[in-house]
Amino acid sequence: MKSTSTAPAAKILPFFPSALPDETISSRVSRYHIRRGQLTNNSTYTELFGLAPFSLTPLVQPHLDKLALRLPGSPVDNLRDLQNDSTLLPLFRRFFGTHLAKRKTIGNEITSVELPRRLVGGSRLTHLCPECLVDDDKVHGCRYIHRSHQIPGVTSCWKHGRLLMDRCPACRQPFSQPGQLILSAWIGCDCGHDLAHAKSEETAPTETELAFARFAKALIDAAPAHMTPNQLVQLYRSRSIEIGFRQGSDRLKRTALFASIEEFFGPAVLSKMDPAYSKCKTSGWFHVLQTSLTMEAPLYRHLLFSFYLFREADVFLARIEELVESERIKSLRDFAGSTLADNNEEKTEADELIEELIGSATRLGYVPQQLWHHNVSKMKRLVKLVPDAYEQIEARLQEAAAKKKQLATRRLNTKTRDDALDPSWATGIEASAATIYHKEQRPFRVTMNQLVKAATGSPKGMRLPTAERTPLARAAADANAESIWHFYARRMLWTLQSLNAPDTPPHAIIKLAQLEVNKAREILKYFSNFRRCGGPSIKEINQILAAHGIGRTWAGPCPEKTFYKTGRAYKLRTARRGPVGGRAGDWESPR
């Protein structure tokens, strides 16, 4: 499809370095900057992208479509080559599928540009292996930054078995800085240290770290085989069951599985590979096993989980191919065999009659003998086809009655147990709330989940209390979980008490409090007369809140005021980056 844009064509670059094996796009841009003899970063970014300097350290770099316009040949093919050869997009595509593509105009062509919807788990760091720098100089005539070293979770070089560096070993300056090209690999650090001659670390990577690095390298080099989120979850679950974590008929022993993962990697190594685990945030670890949340899990989580389950990249890739091929064959059979199934009449007339009669008996409460009174004609037709049909119906109805009685007994036992544990669970939640709200530490938002997690006395199998099963515990959790405004008040009072200088400006206070700016301004204005400095005290904060009549469900100092939402719920207020009320980048102005 051709575009009708009349914008002038982008100027073709005099040259641009070809991709060396396993080289990142940031490395190619830096090599261009050095060979071109550019004096400033701005001039290089302007020539390549027509933009001011931006970060080249994300997992999948933005604005590559603008660079593709400045290279000889088809911009669409150029963009595809840049993303496949010099970014981590192939790794995203393997775990998140291809449904994240969006239509975009590139040059005079409209194509689908694949970009991950949510880049979770990346860092602003660039990792280097000193021995790779030396080898690259010998083999290729120049040093460069390797793509496989930037894979989230990878801590060592797959080739040399050496821990990767993300900063100068002499002065500790990170290799990558915001809005700056990464030139340390070629010209050394600003302190004069040559990174290629960095001394070996005192500690060597573990065998697990090395195996994981080789596993990730093999995945990014392998031929693509796209899976849907459903297929990926199916593969994870089937493999987990194979290695012994089945619970019941089709459930997984998640607690045991996570404990085994911790034991396999070790807490120290897992903290290095998984930033969330290092902060004790493990509640979302098994989002990889939920179809609706699979894409929310960070890339390093998928890599860690697949490595633990399969250990070898060849085994993992072979299972992917088997699954994709079996699903393809199944879909073809389903499509081709639908009419054959109708012609062969898999469900015979007798089967249909039995199901219909059992349905009537269950719905109306008949015993088998009553079917001869209320459904005479159908029963006559049925016994001619199946002489022992009456015995089959009787057995099916008895089995259904037994299951119904068993379910009723189970529900009664569950209710009795819940009624007995409800008061103690409510007391436990109240106690956990008292402990959390009076703990002398920087306030964090107290949610129902945190209260319940810290409490004792929960019934087996219940993660959160419900009004139907445990009304007392639910009421206690609702009463003690704080509103966003109550949390903002506690955090702001703590920050004001912690100040070193009473005349600290408001914007600095808000930054120290780490709260959303607009709501924080209202809270700061509300507590404008509160004393500053003197040291934080939770006891004093609770007294101030009580004196102001601020309860845990406080609606804030200005409940009538509407605030714009932050994060992924944010909607644009101007048309500068897209349609008002939409998301940034959903629309591009015509060229």
Helix orientation angle between 506-513 and 517-526, rounded to the nearest 10 degrees: 110
Is the pLDDT confidence value at 121 over 60? Answer: no
Task: Pull the structure tokens for residue 470.
Answer: 């445990």
> How many whole angstroms separate alpha carbon 93 and alpha carbon 99?
9
pLDDT at position 100 over 50: no
CA distances from 302 to 32, 98, 265, 305 (A): 34, 16, 15, 5
Supply the pLDDT for residue 339.
Answer: 45
Q: How confident is the model at residue 33 (pLDDT cuts 50, 70, 90)?
A: very high
Q: Which of 456, 460, 370, 467 is nearest to 414 (CA)?
A: 460
Helix (H) / strand (E) element for 104: namely strand 101-106
Which range among 26-30, 164-168, 261-265, 572-576 shows the weakest confidence by mean pLDDT? Answer: 572-576
Are residues 6 and 110 located together in one domain of the fold? yes
pTM strictly above 0.75: no
pLDDT tier at 575, thresholds 50, 70, 90:
low
- How would DSSP label each residue in 5-72? --PPPPPPPS--PPPPTTB-HHHHHHHHHHHHT-S-HHHHHHHHHSS------SSS-S-HHHHHHTSS
Q: Residue 585 pLDDT > 80, yes or no?
A: no
Average pLDDT over residues 1-22: 72
Average pLDDT over residues 77-81: 89
10 Å Cβ neighbour count for 467?
11
Residue 590: band (very low, low, confident or very high) from pLDDT cuts 50, 70, 90: very low
Contact 423, 472 (CB under 8 A): yes
Measured CA to CA, the distance from residue 41 to residue 180 in angstroms comes to: 7
Residue ranges making up the domain that contains 238: 227-324
Using the predicted structure, report yes or no on whether residue 99 has a pLDDT greater than 60.
no
Confidence of residue 86 (pLDDT cuts 50, 70, 90): very high
Q: How confident is the model at residue 147 (pLDDT cuts 50, 70, 90)?
A: very high
Distance CA 190, CA 192 (A): 5
503 assigned to some structural domain:
yes
pLDDT in the model for residue 118: 53
What average pLDDT does the chain have?
A: 82
Do both 21 and 155 map to the same domain?
Answer: yes
Lowest mean pLDDT among 139-143, 212-216, 246-250: 246-250
Residue 8 has pLDDT above 60, yes or no: no
- Final residue before a domain boundary, out of 277, 292, 324: 324
Q: Please give the residue that has the higher pLDDT: either 450 or 577.
A: 450
Same domain, 262 and 279: yes
Is there a single domain that holds both residue 463 and residue 510? no
- The alpha helices in 161-206, defined as continuous H runs, are 184-187
126 inside domain: yes
For residue 114, what are the β-bridge partners?
101
Residue 213: what pLDDT? 96
Are 99 and 178 members of one domain?
Answer: yes
At 357-383, the pLDDT tens digits run: 888 888 888 888 888 888 888 888 888
Which amino acid is residue 267, in one-letter code? P
54 within 8 A of 69, measured Cβ to Cβ? no
| Best mean pLDDT range from 306-315, 552-561, 576-585 | 306-315
The verdict on residue 113 lying in a domain is yes
| CA–centroid distance for 239 within its chain | 21
In a domain, residue 316? The reply is: yes
On whether residue 588 sits in a domain, the answer given is no
Residues 540, 440 share a domain: no
CB neighbours of residue 329 within 10 Å: 10
Q: Kindly state the DSSP code that residue 98 receives in the 8-state scheme.
A: S
State how far the Cα of 174 lies from the Cα of 182, in Å rounded to an integer. 10
The per-residue pLDDT for 113 is 53
Q: Higher model confidence: residue 529 or residue 181?
A: 181
The Cα 114–Cα 62 span in angstroms is: 11
Residue 88 has pLDDT above 80, yes or no: yes
The domain boundary residue, chosen from 301, 324, 347: 324
Looking at the predicted structure, is the pLDDT value of residue 206 above 90? yes
Question: Are 237 and 142 members of one domain?
Answer: no
- The answer as to whether 420 is a domain residue is yes
* Among candidate residues 308, 324, 340, the one where a domain is terminated: 324
What pLDDT sits at residue 353? 84
Together in a domain, 461 and 552? no
65 versus 117: which is more confidently predicted?
65
C-alpha–C-alpha distance, residues 86 and 71, integer Å: 15
Contact 235, 227 (CB under 8 A): yes
Q: How confident is the model at residue 336 (pLDDT cuts 50, 70, 90)?
A: low
**Which is more confident, 87 or 61?**
87
Q: Are residues 447 and 520 in the same domain?
A: no
Residue 158, pLDDT score: 94
pLDDT at residue 219 in the model? 93
The average pLDDT across 420-436 equals: 86
Radius of gyration in angstroms for the set of CA atoms belonging to the chain, rounded to a whole number: 32
Burial of 499: CB neighbours in 10 Å, binned 0-12, 13-18, 19+: middle
Q: Are residues 312 and 272 part of one domain? A: yes
More confident of the two residues 579 and 264: 264
Above 90 in pLDDT, residue 134? yes
- Give the number of domains in the chain: 4
Per residue in 561-570, pLDDT (tens digit) is: 877 666 666 6
Residue 168, SS3?
coil
d(CA 162, CA 352): 68
In a domain, 204, yes or no: yes
251 DSSP 8-state letter:
E
- Using alpha carbons, select from 169, 184, 177 the residue that is nearest to residue 34: 184
Average pLDDT on 557-583 reads: 70
Residue 495 has pLDDT above 70, yes or no: yes
Q: Quickly count: other Cβ atoms within 10 Å of residue 204's Cβ.
A: 13
Closest listed residue to residue 251, CA positions, set 286, 283, 227, 282? 286
CA separation (Å) from 586 to 51, 281, 342?
19, 32, 46
CA distance 24 to 29: 9
pLDDT higher than threshold 50 for residue 333: yes
Q: Are residues 101 and 206 in the same domain?
A: yes
Name the residue among 235, 228, 236 with its Cα closest to residue 295.
Answer: 228
Are 193 and 308 within one domain? no
> Is pLDDT of 104 > 60?
no
- Position 502 scores a pLDDT of 83
In whole angstroms, what is the distance from residue 348 CA to residue 454 CA? 57
339 domain residue, yes or no: no
pLDDT in tens, 295-310: 678 889 999 999 999 9
Give the pLDDT confidence score for residue 119 in this predicted structure: 55
pLDDT, position 314: 92
